[in-house]
Amino acid sequence: MYGDVDMNIMDGSAVWAQSMVQALAAAGCAPTLLLKAEVSTDRLTAPLERDPAVALRRPYEEGLLEGLGPRGLTPEQAVELLERLDAEEAYDLVVVRGRRLAVLAAQSERLAGRLWTYLTDVPQSVPELTAGAVSELTDIAVASRFVLCQTEELRSFLESAVPAACGKSVLFPPVVVLEEEAPQAAPPAPLDGPLRLVYTGKFAPRWNTLEMAGLPEALSGRGVPAELHMVGDKVHRDSPEWARRMNKALEGGAEGLVAHGGVPRAEALRLAAGCHVGLSWRDEEMDASLELSTKVLEMGALGLPVVLNRTPMHEALLGVEYPLFAEPGADADEVADLLALAADPAVRAEAAERCRAAAARFTLERAAERLGAYLDAACPSGPEGTDPRRPLKVVIAGHDLKFFTRLAEHLSSLPGLDVRLDEWESLRAHDQYRSKELASWADVVICEWCGPNALFYAEHKRPGQRLLVRLHRFELYAEWPRKLDIEKVDAVICVSPYYARLTRELAGWPTDKVVVLPNWVDTDQLDRPKLPGAEYTLGMIGIAPSRKRIDRGLEVLRELRRRDRRFTLAVKSKQPWDYWWIWNRPEEREYYERAYRELRRDPLLAGGVVFDPFGPDVAGWLRRIGFTLSTSDDESFHLAPAECAASGGVPAVLTWPGADTIYSHRWLHEDPAAMAEAIHATVAEGRFDAARRAAQAEIRDNYALDKVCRMWTDLIVKGAVPEPVDLPKAVPA
């Protein structure tokens, strides 16, 4: 692990590095921390040195590199050392922090694929997202196994701007680690003298530290004796005049200010615990920040109430009614008024309890659990029946692998499997020499799509080799299944029982050759907090071609808006004219012109429909969706309602053929009017939360990515046919 942070300076970045190493160790790793600078104080490194699982590498003291400068490793030097250390140890993962460092690490062929990149110093608003920034972040995401995001807000923003981050971005919130010698949480200290305020961290203009220095004097003028204890030794010097004034205040130029300088972390925590109120009041410019202050959580863990800016993120953390919020744009006088209020023991007690409860969600134990889940995904154990010394050789062949990507990633990560891709340029075009070479090499061939690829590998199948073919709706009515020598195929895989039955009937294949293995749903990625009011937002994903029936979706919305105008519809899709093969068909064009004309003219629909861009950022988009509609004439599976359910929403599905073999009857409706009635009743009668919990459990139990990956692994390694999904038989009241 390497963070572009100086462990000699007590600030949030350095504390993060310490806590990240501790969390990795608690999750069962043996972490090596590469230090940036020569150690001049062991305030942060000493606790790590006491842990036998942790190794510290000191480039200055060990002479690991020539030409080291006085300000610590440059990003280029750090990446060079990471590569050198990896050559010695062959690490399973490489954790890096710092955008410039991450850009360089992403260019390293040696490190790519094992990077766990922690992003904070990245654009956090649309104007900052220049083409260059998006290009850098894309390179980082492509080279990373995981992109660690501190908050859900940052993750969703990143995914909306960088498609490559979708599916790789995972949450890793701040970690609150209170050392053994640190004070334990206690009831708020009694006001036995002056109101003691505390600030710990760096001194910088946007952190309002100079304005804080005047708070004791302002409180004195309000009849509240006060002291301000400031802990830290890093003064930003971007503005020499500001730095001069800040230093003057710390050196005794401000009434009631006690400067403690840089002290060991345990001592900083002890000092904070002896105060009455913590300060994390910042400039209004930082209200849009997508990062969460570790200092706020540390103070909460100590039982200390904190003054901080009112932002949506902080309201979600502490509740809208938290009593010590500084309102947007608050100046020093307004914060002084707030602190005068905090002199009331009852106010301090309420605020302290809210801070303590919030901090309890960010403990080392929680962080270790979270990392443990990511480690299981990144470094899985080998499947039973395989030997890493003689791996099972697997080829995945097809012209379009987008529906197989996550499965391919999982199979490739398994010890005991050697997976290679045969990506065809189109349905028929491919490198025949490479395909023949792979056909003679493989133990198992998986053909994604029952097209010319399946015909080729069936023709070149070797004795003892196993051939698995996944058939989608697209191929069922085409020529290729009729040409396929089914005797050469070990299993044809369909995603639903209905299409498996239809495949047997139309192709005439033996019953035991056609197996059902459902589509996967990344339930962990999709499970994110819903935004306020989500229950009033319907969603549709993909509305082309016309058999997706957006007209029925509009009918559902119209019926709902007759009852309650709060209902809206969000459509995430390409438009029909984006597909030449759709827009060139007169009947398709006429259908959409009619539907969109109705949308413009119907007063019940006016202002009730939003079209969002097509893209992979579905998880972030679903945060505002309460119900996802499936109004199609027919579907082979239709992932959108399942993804909505996994996100904590409710699927709403018309009874297209086979829908009852994928979704339980609770989510099925005979027509748009019945669908609208059910949605309205669910919301109006206060049953939305119960319904979404039931839907989420159903999808997780049957279609979770990890479960479907296990099914595929068992089929590939053992030839085991998966058990059918277990849908609830009864419809709950």
Q: What is the identity of the amino acid at 210?
A: L
CA distances from 704 to 36, 316, 649, 693 (A): 41, 28, 16, 15
Whether 124 has a pLDDT exceeding 90, the answer reads no
> Where is pLDDT greater, at 730 or 662?
662
User: Which residue type, as a one-letter code, is found at position 543?
Assistant: I
Which residues, at least 6 apart from 723, have a Cβ–Cβ distance to it below 8 Å? none
User: Rounded to an integer, what distance in angstroms lies between the CA atom of residue 559 and that of residue 550?
Assistant: 14
Q: Of residues 124 and 148, which shows the higher confidence score? A: 148
Of 83, 69, 76, 144, the C-alpha closest to 114 is 144
Q: Which of 283-292, 672-681, 688-697, 704-713 has the lowest mean pLDDT?
A: 283-292
Separation CA 445–CA 468 (nearest Å): 6
Tokens (6 digits) for 437? 């070479």
Please check the confidence at residue 469 and state whether its pLDDT lies above 70.
yes
Taking the C-alpha atoms of residue 457 and residue 443, their distance in angstroms, rounded to an integer, is: 12
Four-CA torsion 597, 602, 607, 609, nearest 10 degrees = -60
DSSP helix/strand/coil, 554:
helix
Please state the rounded mean pLDDT for residues 64-74: 91
- 628-647 pLDDT per residue, tens: 999 999 998 999 999 999 99
Least confident residue range of 189-193, 227-231, 248-252, 553-557 = 189-193
pLDDT at residue number 733 = 41
* pLDDT value at 448 more than 60: yes
Residues 66-71: what's their mean pLDDT?
Answer: 89
Q: pTM score, two decimals?
A: 0.87
List the beta bridge partners of residue 363.
Answer: 176
* pLDDT bucket at 725, cuts 50 / 70 / 90: confident
Q: Do 102 and 96 contact (CB within 8 A), yes or no? A: yes
Chain segment 568-624, per-residue pLDDT in tens: 999 999 999 999 999 999 999 999 999 999 999 999 999 999 999 999 999 999 999
3-state SS of 196-256?
EEEEECCECHHHCHHHHCCHHHHHHCCCCCEEEEEECCCECCCCHHHHHHHHHHHHHHCCC
Q: What's the pLDDT at 188?
A: 65
pLDDT digits (tens, 9 = 90+) for 231-262: 998 899 889 999 999 999 999 888 999 999 98
Query: Residue 183: is its pLDDT beyond 70?
Result: no
Spatial distance between the Cα atoms of 584 and 157, rounded to a whole number of angstroms:
36
- Residue 384: CB atoms within 10 A of its CB come to 10
* pLDDT, mean over the chain: 93
Q: CA 164 to CA 440: how far, in whole Å?
A: 34
Predicted confidence band of residue 187 (pLDDT cuts 50, 70, 90): low
Question: pLDDT-derived band of residue 182, with 50, 70 and 90 as boundaries?
Answer: low
Above pLDDT 70, what percent of the chain? 98
107/113 Cα distance (integer angstroms): 11
* Tokens read off for 378: 């990144």
pLDDT, one tens digit per residue, over 386-442 is 999 999 999 999 999 988 999 999 999 999 999 999 999 999 999 999 999 999 999
pLDDT at 165 over 50: yes
Q: Give start and end residues of each alpha helix (H) in 50-178.
A: 59-62, 75-89, 99-106, 131-143, 152-161
Residue 696, number of CB atoms within 10 A of its CB: 20
Measured on CA atoms in the order 694, 696, 699, 700, is the torsion positive or negative?
negative
Per-residue pLDDT at 8: 87
Exposure of 642 by Cβ count < 10 A (0-12 exposed, 13-18 middle, 19+ buried)? buried
Residues 363, 174: Cα–Cα separation, whole Å = 9
Q: How far apart are CA 132 and CA 101, in angstroms?
A: 16
Which pLDDT belongs to residue 319?
94
Question: Is 34:82 a contact under the CB 8 Å cutoff?
Answer: yes
Strand partners, 628: 539, 651
Both tokens of 300, joined, read: 């909460």
Of residues 302, 298, 296, 301, the one with CA closest to residue 324: 296
270 CB-near residues (< 8 Å, 6+ apart): 182, 183
Interacting residues of 506 by C-beta distance below 8 A, sequence separation 6+ = 476, 477, 481
**CB burial readout 122-135, b (16+ within 10 A) else e:** bbbeeeebeeeeee
Residue type, 12: G
| Mean pLDDT to the nearest integer, 442-460 | 97
8 A C-beta contact, residue 452 and residue 481: no
Within the chain, how many helices (H) and strands (E) appear?
Answer: 31, 25
**385 pLDDT exceeds 90?**
no
Q: Binning pLDDT at 50, 70 and 90, where does residue 732 land?
A: very low
Tell me the torsion sign for CA atoms 668, 670, 676, 678.
negative
Q: How many CB atoms are located within 10 Å of the residue 425 CB?
A: 9
